[in-house]
Structure 1
Amino acid sequence: MSPLTGAGEQRGAEVIDEDGDTVPLPMIPSAGDPEQPSDHRQQSYADGPGRPPFGPILKKVALGLAICLVAGAGYAGLQHIANAPADPGAPTAQQPPSATPTTPDQAQAGVQRAVAGEAVLQKMADAIENEDRGEFLNTIDPKATAFRASARTIFGNLSALPLGTFQLRYVSDDIGALTPDRQAELGGTQSWLAQVEVSWQLAGYDVKAARETLPVTFVTRDGKTYAASFSERFVAGQRRPVWSLGALELAKGKHSLVISLGAGSEAEAEARSYVSVADKAVESVSKVWGRSWRQKVVVYLPAKQSQMEYVLGARPNTYTQIAAVTMAELDTPAVGAPVRIVANPKLFEELGKQGRRIVLTHETTHVASTATASPVPLWLAEGFADYVAFNAVPVQDESAAKELFKAVRAGHVPASLPTTEAFAASAKELPQAYESAWLACRLIAEREGEEKLVKFYRAVHASKSSTGLADAFQSVLGMTEAEFVAEWQKYLERLAGG
């Protein structure tokens, strides 16, 4: 995803809120069913190269609050944001450090560290699988007081999640990563930093396992090796598992799992309040898209901004004006990758019920249509998601397409459907790109029927050909893209009153 700093222009769609008041609303920018894994501990709960990610749009919200609603991380641009330093002084993004032995003794020492570290990780994974808290804590450095407290929370989180699988794999180490002062603090006969791949699968929600890389500090004392930290020296862009960031509260609905960071009744109530919104979003999407998808969404609800940034591997304050992001929680976006909707709870609360529903419906449309791993052009992905969201919560054309109508009335009718570049966060006419994409999809639905719109999207999505879009225009809509654009231009002029 490209840096999400917001567009320079604002727009102001309106909805009627739960109290009957007209509320300005931000436009929402982007973003085979294998057998479900079973929870081994409890019953199961019921991109193309050069393509930018879904980008943000700023627009006025109640009391003048500018909120940027973002969806669909997971295209090639996702790596762009991963390359941004996660901390102000963080090093440039790079592969996890790996020791390069130059002598037989160094090679042997590296093997011994890997064997010792892998043994600790295996004991951890076994303890999680067997729900053995004591055995899990036996792998934690008894002198690392703060980390032992965190480890208790991590174990509780992993025990609460509906895990289908959980694995830890030793990848590489770098004995030079720890400073002499840190090594002295750890003590023992040796200490080192290793990169560890952690993967987990949520039973009933994920087809594939989520994967992250954790920097794990190991220390050996009295002949035994322990884990002493899960958070030392994150390289730029390294995402952090949500279960490692603090206590979790879970709320489950018919179609959703909301994972809230924060302990206590307040966090639990907040998670429950989002379940009904997420469930309604799934139902709204299924009415349009159909029910041939998993009809399940997982929503992460961080308690504070920094936690959202950690989950996404982003710069501090990147998401202060962003209400939500949809991301693929996998190294390489692909069909079946676990997709999460990451919400900014403060901004969601400012939006109100209707605004939150529009946002989650838009995001859920991307989940259902596997937009993070689809060849569809961005105008179709974003326009379709807006079409579904605005069907769920209708908005007035004049407010929802304010910037586009202003341009059309001034004689600036779009010459073509929005290009990939039009959706870049820095694009000057970014609002018009989303507005025109939405109305292009709505025109297809009005002209051919909603089923044809879905069929058109599916045809483009399923195509393996570079001419997939042109082929779909002919086979599904019976016209060329040029013919559609001409009709769409007249449609915009009619709507704008130009």
Structure 2
Amino acid sequence: MPTGAGELARRRLAALACAALLPLTACSDDPPPPTHGGSAYEDVAARMQATLDQRAASLRRGDLARFRATLDRSDAGLVDTQQVYFDNIAQLPVGRLRLRVLPDTITPVDGSGVDSTEYWAEVVVALALEGYDAAPVRTRDRYRFVPTRDGSRLVVGSTTDYAWEEQHPGNAQPWDLHAIHVEQAAGVLGIFDSWTDEDAWQVLDAASSGRSDVRSVVGSDDASPALDGVVVYAVQDLSFLDGLAGQTVGDPDRVDGLTIAVPVDAAAPGRGVASYRIFVNPRVLDEPSAVLGRLVRHELTHALLGARGRGAPLWLSEGIAEYASVRSMSPGQRRLPSRALDVGASATDLPGHAEFGSTDAEAWYAVSWWVCEYVAATYGESTLLGLLEQLAGGADQDRVLPDVLGIDGPSLVRRGVAMMTTTYG
């Protein structure tokens, strides 16, 4: 479907994690750390943990003086970038924040073993956004620890090792990278930057009203952590999406909107999802408000559905998101891509990954939307949503469709296209 002037291409699929990038401090050319450090570093680990406990407590309490005391203040660049990080965290509704060193990853910087005075170590950061995360989101980073002038403590000398981060994607959030501007509305936490903060309330209004609109269509799922609130990113620097490569249709830089399933711990998939967050490409902010609203409602549908229908065919999950996104619009406002009728006329079966990854992806979104319109109009919305759940987990649609609807995939796409053609032809 078109997103407005220029018919912006939509490439949206729920992703499993956020990206890993270049955080705010200096880099390192040190070799990758070993997989274990050994008992010789027990005292070192205890000193590191004491500093991390103070760092976490000062971030939770907004105590800048205590926070600065955990840093190597002889490094002006480190102090400046960590000030940005402190200011970013201070704006977030932090529910829980803990830092934990992994002793088995401690590595002497100079290779001199237990006699070293500086060390690298991996650190687990557990951060929960109050009202938005069902559990703290655990990410891993690699810190450099250096001694204070009197040698009594180990403080943070760097939070960045580029080589390590390239091998461990999924660690960065926008607040780890650049200065952010945070705003909240009913049930929505917006993350903006200096390029997008003028449009913050436009995005928040679309997301806040859109949650009610979408819920009226898809209902609610008490098991979904997104029901308490949803986080929306609208930042100019798209590099935090780099880690989503291969998990979206097409190039992430061409995406207008994404829904991101943020795991509790990317290193332990069995822990589940902490929240569903939405990315809105800033270029959409130049479009009419109706375009932004429709895009946001599409992504909110994915977020509010949460785990319901995970693994269902793309035509159904994306078609339902399109279907829900237009329900609050008058029929005359429900724009159709110019190629949709031609593509629909050639459709012989329901679209799959190849079609959604093609140059006609926008038209295939429209075909999927109208297949869902047909199902809802003929069998009822409850059947449409029930179909999503029955096709979850990769169920065989060649078996499920005849059982639920009494027709097969080719027949279903023909009927959906016929309804679309009648409406727009």
Q: TM-score range by the shorter chain?
A: 0.7 to 0.9
Contact 2:10/2:362 (CA < 8 Å) preserved in 1?
no
Give the Å deviation of 1:72.
Answer: 1.5
Q: Using the alignment, how far apart are the partners of 1:146 and 1:387 within structure 2?
A: 50
1:496 and 2:425 equivalent?
Answer: no
Aligned residues: 395
Distance of 2:290 and 2:302 partners within structure 1: 19
| 2:157 equivalent to 1:228 | yes
| Partner residue, 1:389 | 325
Shift of 1:403: 2.7
SS of 2:172's equivalent in the other structure is coil
**Structure 2: distance between partners of 1:99 and 1:364:** 42
| Aligned-residue offset at 1:358 | 1.0
Match of 1:217 in 2: 144
Q: Does 1:451 align with 2:378?
A: no
Contact 1:212–1:241 (CA under 8 A) maintained in structure 2? no
Partner of 1:299: 232
CA–CA distance in structure 1, aligned partners of residues 278 and 382 of structure 2 = 26
The question of whether the paired residues in 2 share the 8 Å contact of 1:97 and 1:195 is answered with: no
Task: Please name the residue that 2:366 is paired with.
Answer: 435
1:121/1:169 contact within 8 Å kept: yes
Cα distance, 1:162 vs structure 2:
1.2
The aligned amino acid for 1:310 is F
- CA deviations on 1:161-186 (whole Å, 9 max, x unpaired) are 1111111122353647x689xx9xxx
TM-score (norm 2): 0.80
Matches within 5 A, 1:358-437: 358-370=294-306, 374-393=310-329, 400=336, 402-409=338-345, 412-414=346-348, 416-423=349-356, 425=357, 427=358, 429-437=360-368
Q: Determine the C-alpha separation between the residues in 2 that align with 1:442 and 1:286.
A: 17
Cα 1:390–1:469 change in 2 (3 A) is: farther
Partner of 1:99: 34
Q: 1:408 to 1:433 in 2, by over 3 A?
A: closer
Q: Secondary structure at the match of 1:355?
A: helix
Question: Aligned letter for 1:454?
Answer: L
Partner of 1:251: 183
Question: What residue in structure 2 maps to residue 353 of structure 1?
Answer: 289
Q: TM-score, normalised by structure 1?
A: 0.69
Residue 239 in 1 paired to residue 171 in 2? yes
Q: 1:399 to 1:260 in 2, by over 3 A?
A: closer
Q: Distance in 2 between matches of 1:107 and 1:388?
A: 55
Q: 1:324 to 1:494 in 2, by over 3 A?
A: closer
Residue pairs, 1:134-173, within 5 angstroms: 134-171=65-102, 173=105
Q: Which moved more, 1:148-157 or 1:329-338?
A: 329-338
SS in 2 for 1:139: coil
- CA 1:201–1:439: 2 relative to 1, 3 Å: same
Q: Aligned equivalents of 1:466 and 1:453: distance in 2?
A: 15
Please state if 1:206 is matched with 2:133.
Answer: yes
Q: Deviations over 1:345-379 (max 9, x none)?
A: 2x122223111111110000000111598132221
In structure 2, the residue matched to 1:46 is: none
Q: List aligned pairs for 1:6-17, cutoff 5 A.
A: 13=1
Work out which of the residue numbers 5, 11, 14 in structure 2 matches 1:72: 14
3-state secondary structure, aligned to 2:72: coil
Q: Distance in 2 between matches of 1:319 and 1:168?
A: 31
What secondary structure is seen at the aligned counterpart in 1 of 2:86?
helix
Paired with 2:420 and 2:397, the residues of 1 have a C-alpha distance of 29
Identify the residue that residue 270 of structure 1 maps to in structure 2. Answer: 199
* Within-5 A mapping of 1:33-48: none
Name the structure 1 match of 2:28. Answer: none
Shift of 1:454: 2.4
1:290 equivalent in structure 2:
219
- The CA RMSD measured in Å over matched residues stands at 3.6
Q: Deviations over 1:104-159 (max 9, x none)?
A: xx734444443332222122112233433222211111112122122223223223
- The answer for the alignment partner of 1:260 in structure 2 is 192
CA pair 65-447 structure 1, distance change in 2 beyond 3 A: closer
Q: Indicate how the Cα distance of structure 1 residues 379 and 494 shifts in structure 2: closer, same or farther if over 3 A, else same.
A: closer
Take 1:399 and 1:269, find their aligned partners in 2: how far apart are those partners? 27
8 Å Cα contact 1:359-1:389 kept in structure 2: yes
CA distance in 1, matches of 2:343, 2:196: 45
Structure 2: tracts of 5 or more residues without a match: 23-30, 246-250
What is the CA-CA distance between 1:333 and the residue it aligns to?
Answer: 8.4
CA distance 1:432–1:275, shift in 2 (3 Å): closer
Q: Secondary structure at the match of 1:240?
A: coil
| Conserved? CA contact 2:311–2:394, under 8 Å | no
Partners of 2:50 and 2:118 in 1: CA distance: 15
